Each structure stands twice: as C-alpha cells, then as structure tokens.
Structure 1
Amino acid sequence: MSRTWTNNLLFSADRAAAAPAARQPVIFLAHGSPALIWPKNLGSMGFPLDSIGGSEGPHVKFLQAYGPHLLKQYKPKALVVFSAHWETDGPIQVTDNKQNPLYYDYYGFPEPLYNLDFRSEGSTALSNRIVELLNKSGIPAEKLPDKGRGLDHGVFVPFIHMLPNPVGIPIVEVSMHSNLDPKKLIDLGKAVAPLRDEGVLIISGGLTIHSFREPEAWDPKQASQGFKDFENAVKAAINENKTPEERNAALIATAKHPYFRRAHPREEHFVPIFIAAGAGSHPDDTARVVCDLHGAITAEFGN
C-alpha cells in the first residue's frame, strides 16, 4: 500500500477506495492550535509550533488529506466529538444545537479569527442517544439547550481544514470529566462505543505535547530528546499492543514517563486519548498511529 506525502502521514491512500466499514473507527485527533488558521497576510504567529502547526505547515497538509479520507472511507452518518477544551465537574454535557455556533474560547488574536465561517448542524436524536448511553453506563449526563454551547476551537480549528463547509452531517460535542482520570475517561469512551455500529464516527481531540512553560518543546529542531522519547512511548503503546486491555494499560503507563509532566504541565490535552482508546476497546479492535508529526500524533482505534 502506498503512503501519502511523507512518512509522517501514515494512513494509506489506497484504503480510500475500499467499502465503508460496518463499524466506525475512533480517532484521537491532534487538533492543533489557532496557528493552523492564522491569516497568511499577518505572517507567522511567531511561536515555535509554527514549524509543524503553522497555517502552511505539515499538520495542515495532513488534516486536508485526512478529513476527505475519513468521509470517503467510512461514510459516517454523524460525528461525535470530545475536546481537550471542554471539561465539566458535574454531569457530562452534550450539545443539542440546531445549528452549531462557534465558541471562540481564546483571546488576544486578530479580528479575522473571531469571524470564521464554519457551518454545521446538530442532531437532537443523536444528542438523546448519547445521554441515553451514558446514563445506561452509570455516567450522569445531560443535554444543553439549543446554543447552550458552541463548538470550541479544539473542534472547529481542525475541522475547517478537514471537512466541507457546510459539513453536511451532524456534529455533536460532548464534555469530559474535569478530574481527567484516565480510567474514567476510558469508561466514558466505552459508554459511547455502541455509536460506532450506528454509523457515527467518534473523534477525541487533543495533543501529544502541550507546554507553554517550554515553548521549544513544540519544535522538533529545538525540543529536548526527552520529549521525543515520550512520544515514542505513546506511539509504541498504540502500535505494539495487540489487545485493547494491553493497549489501554500501556497508554496509562505513559504518564509515568519522566518527560510526561514536562510535555503536559496539566494533562487536559493528553487525556482525550483515553476516551478514544476506551471507545476503541472492542475485543477485535486494533490501533495504529496514522500521523506521527512531532507534538501532533493522530491515531485510529478500531480500524
């Protein structure tokens, strides 16, 4: 099978012509930052992540290829999205918007980044189904009212590059536990896993490196070797374990890596991987890294 563009983009272009899978995979998506949509007329954002995650960098190229690949390969009926940018202390919350507004949960950026055009619908039926599945699994959950919350930048930033506009299929966003407990997040993923057999693609967005204490960590040319060793441990946990139980345990163990806390002073951007791994825990599920860009690893579970 051929590989697309560079060794960092590991999904096969040949697979795009295959029949859609009966069971949807689950994606841990490197959602990037607003640098991905930084207006080109303003030049560089001026931060080390530009080498990978700038508006003309390799992460953009990956997203632009990967989104159409997912739609063509799997033909999902809807998208359910978790984001590193939405935590709740109480019940898990679920959007129920007729039209999804954008929630600009960042500040200090140029005006064009607050006037973006990305249109998508919600789905009350899907929102109800998510709440039903979560409550059935003993996880308290509730729907928000229409426009109770929009899609945050951990969703719309990568989706601007990945999806058509308007999208054409519903998008529903779901919060994650604010205690960031890996086992609870694995259980959260397992609770919504039945959606995979209902034509719903589950995407959980975060990043494998997210540190503003050491900005050079974002740039593979400047980052200490320890950051790369940490990401190698994450990739090994995904690629080298044959069963979901072994894979999930190996992912949890990466938090003991000596560079984990340097890569994630607070782990909210890493733990969405546990939701994806939990939802991809069917006994037959395999997993693989499909993009191994520094700081921006994307993986498929259940492919």
Structure 2
Amino acid sequence: MSVGEYFTKLNTSLPSTSATTRIPAFFIAHGSPMLIWPKQIPAASSSLMRSLMKTSGPDGPLANFLKALGPFLLQRYRPKAVLVFSAHWETERHIEVMANDDKNELLYDYYNFPDELYKVTWESYGSSSLAKHVKDLLEKAKIPVKLIKNSERGFDHGVFVPFIHMFPEQPFPLPVIEVSIDSSLDPEREINLGKAIESLRDEGILILSGGLSIHNLNDLGQSLPDVASPNVRDFEKTMIMAAELPENRRLDELKKLVRHAGFRSAHPREEHFVPMYVAAGAGSQGEAKVLCDLHGAVTIAFGL
C-alpha cells in the first residue's frame, strides 16, 4: 500500500478526537536499520536480504505505513508530548526515565552497518517536567524508578529509526522522552508498567511502545511471510486475534502468547515482543484494533 492508502485506512480505523478525549496507546513495529538504509548503497546480494529489503527497507510497506502513521497521529490527536518505550532499552532494579530539557542525543546501537547509518540525525528535545510526572506515577504504582540525564544515554535505534519516517519535521516540535522496559521481560510486569502511566493519555501524551511481532536474528526468514514456518504464522495470527478481543478477555489471552508453540521461533528472546504488553497495559480499557498486519511488523492501537 502507498502512504496515502495507509493514511486513508487509519482515518477510517481510529476514532476522532470528538469521539474520545483519551489518546490511544500504540504498539508500533519499529523496524530495523534497514528502514533507513542509504539508497546509494546496495544491500547484501543474497536473495534473503533482497527480500527483506523489499519488505523492510526505506521504500517498503513498513516505511510507507510509518510515514502515514506519524502525521496521522499528530493531526488526529494533537498530542502535547510523546512518551516512548523501546525493545532496545531494558533496565534492572529500576525503570529509568530520560529527564532533560536539552537536545536528545542518539545512540547508534547497531553494528557492522555502512558508515552513513552512523551519521543519520533526528533532532528533538526532552521534558524534565514530564519525566518527573512519569516518575511520580510509577512511584505511586510502587514501581522502582529513577531519572537519568541525556548525557547518560541517547535514543536507541528503536526510537529514532521509525521516528525518522514518522516525524520528519526537524527539530521535532514536541517534547519526547524515552522510558525503559522491565528487564524481567515478564508480561505481567510490563502490563503494570503500562497501567501506571495510563492516565497520561488523558493529559494529551502520546504513548508509543516499539518492538516487532517477529524478531529472530538467527533465522531471518521467519520475518518473511513466504518463508516463515507454519508455527510462526499461526503465532502471529493468534496475536492479532487476541489483540482485538473485548477488554475483559484481551489481557489474559495476550499473556498466553508467550506459551504459544510458535513463540520461540518468532522470538528466541522476548525483548522485542514485550513492549506490546506495555501498550496493552496503558490502553487496557476499551477496544483495541490492529492498524497494520504486515508479517513481522504488526501495529496495534489500545484503548479506543
């Protein structure tokens, strides 16, 4: 689908601001550095990498969806700030919250890519007041938390890679802060993390939690619909069905997904899947809708 077609689909799928005062919480497919691959540099010549570039590269369907999603969210919900979680930042003992009013730094946390990928930029600024507010909410929920400065850590590529497509205006005009996920990777704890900040949706804060519905670096073919094993395809189908269940059943069925027969083939480790639970917790009330069902790159809105 083109960017315009995705935008039209979003317009018919999500409620207007007149229908709800709460901004939904989103689990987004944040993709990989392939999304911002320099066009002047050929990708690896293997047929597998060519197929992955076709689906996950800068001109692929995921990039087109993200290019539609970002402007749509800004136009539809007019958020005051963005709070983002990423599969690439997990912490022990404390949830960490970036707290600064200065320019957010970038953390190029990937390896063996072309030099150009270490020169990309995405300019934004933080909000120490929002960070403090998040800290207060987490403490109220009895979740250990601490604030860190932007000099201690930059935005990882699970943030800036999709945001380059979603929010191309530079510098980005809204404050953005990143919050870590719980390194236990336990669905219940990630859901509770999301629930603790659910009230931010009433305050005009856009909550984005990034990961992937399939992430297996040891078997990249699982990210291709024509190559993925039947168990992995069934896992993702079950995920999509569970996400759209009524709220009184949804969380219980989503928690069962980590025990699905195809889960370990889709996720040898859980870190790219559990951000979905943060978004599901932050949008635990109301309906949920799958906005994009691209294989390996499902995006879901929670709390409609």
The bucket for the TM-score relative to the shorter chain is over 0.9
Mapped partners of 1:21, 1:147: distance in 2? 38
Contact map agreement 1:208 1:296 (CA 8 A) in 2: yes
How many aligned positions are there? 296
From the superposition, tell whether residues 271 and 45 of structure 1 become closer, same or farther in structure 2 (CA, over 3 Å). farther
Report the alpha carbon displacement of residue 221 of structure 1 after superposing the two structures with TM: 1.9
Contact map agreement 2:88 2:156 (CA 8 A) in 1: yes
1:35 corresponds to which letter in structure 2?
M
1:39 equivalent in alignment to 2:44: no
Deviations 1:132-173 (A, max 9, x none): 000110001110024221110000000000012211001000
Q: Percent identity, aligned pairs only?
A: 46
Mapped partners of 1:15, 1:299: distance in 2? 11
In structure 1, the residue matched to 2:217 is 212
SS at match of 1:84: strand
Structure 1 residue runs of 4 or more that deviate by more than 4 Å after TM superposition: 13-21
In structure 2, the residue matched to 1:78 is 81
SS at match of 1:72: helix
Contact map agreement 1:4 1:11 (CA 8 A) in 2: no
In structure 1, the residue matched to 2:274 is 271
Mapping of residues 120-159 of structure 1, within 5 Å: 120-159=124-163
Report the alpha carbon displacement of residue 54 of structure 1 after superposing the two structures with TM: 1.1
In structure 1, the residue matched to 2:62 is 59
SS at match of 2:26: strand
Mapped partners of 1:45, 1:31: distance in 2? 21
Contact map agreement 1:102 1:151 (CA 8 A) in 2: yes
From the superposition, tell whether residues 295 and 9 of structure 1 become closer, same or farther in structure 2 (CA, over 3 Å). farther
Match of 1:116 among 110, 114, 120: 120
1:299 equivalent in alignment to 2:300: yes
1:147 corresponds to which letter in structure 2?
S
Report the alpha carbon displacement of residue 111 of structure 1 after superposing the two structures with TM: 1.1
Mapped partners of 1:34, 1:102: distance in 2? 13
Contact map agreement 1:123 1:170 (CA 8 A) in 2: yes
Mapped partners of 2:271, 2:255: distance in 1? 14
SS at match of 2:40: helix
Mapped partners of 2:294, 2:216: distance in 1? 16
Report the alpha carbon displacement of residue 45 of structure 1 after superposing the two structures with TM: 4.9
Report the alpha carbon displacement of residue 90 of structure 1 after superposing the two structures with TM: 1.5
Report the alpha carbon displacement of residue 91 of structure 1 after superposing the two structures with TM: 0.7
Mapped partners of 1:126, 1:156: distance in 2? 20
1:23 corresponds to which letter in structure 2?
R
Contact map agreement 1:190 1:279 (CA 8 A) in 2: yes
Unaligned runs of 5+ in 1: none
Mapping of residues 1-303 of structure 1, within 5 Å: 5=5, 10-12=9-11, 19=18, 21-45=20-44, 47=49, 48-97=51-100, 98-163=102-167, 164-239=169-244, 241-243=245-247, 245-282=248-285, 285-303=286-304
TM-score, normalisation: structure 2: 0.92
TM-score, normalisation: structure 1: 0.93
Mapped partners of 2:8, 2:265: distance in 1? 26
Mapped partners of 2:272, 2:99: distance in 1? 24
SS at match of 1:232: helix
1:161 corresponds to which letter in structure 2?
H
From the superposition, tell whether residues 180 and 9 of structure 1 become closer, same or farther in structure 2 (CA, over 3 Å). farther
Report the alpha carbon displacement of residue 11 of structure 1 after superposing the two structures with TM: 2.2
Worse overlay, 156-165 or 40-49? 40-49
Unaligned runs of 5+ in 2: none
From the superposition, tell whether residues 36 and 16 of structure 1 become closer, same or farther in structure 2 (CA, over 3 Å). farther
Could you say what the CA RMSD is over the residues aligned between the two structures, in angstroms? 2.0
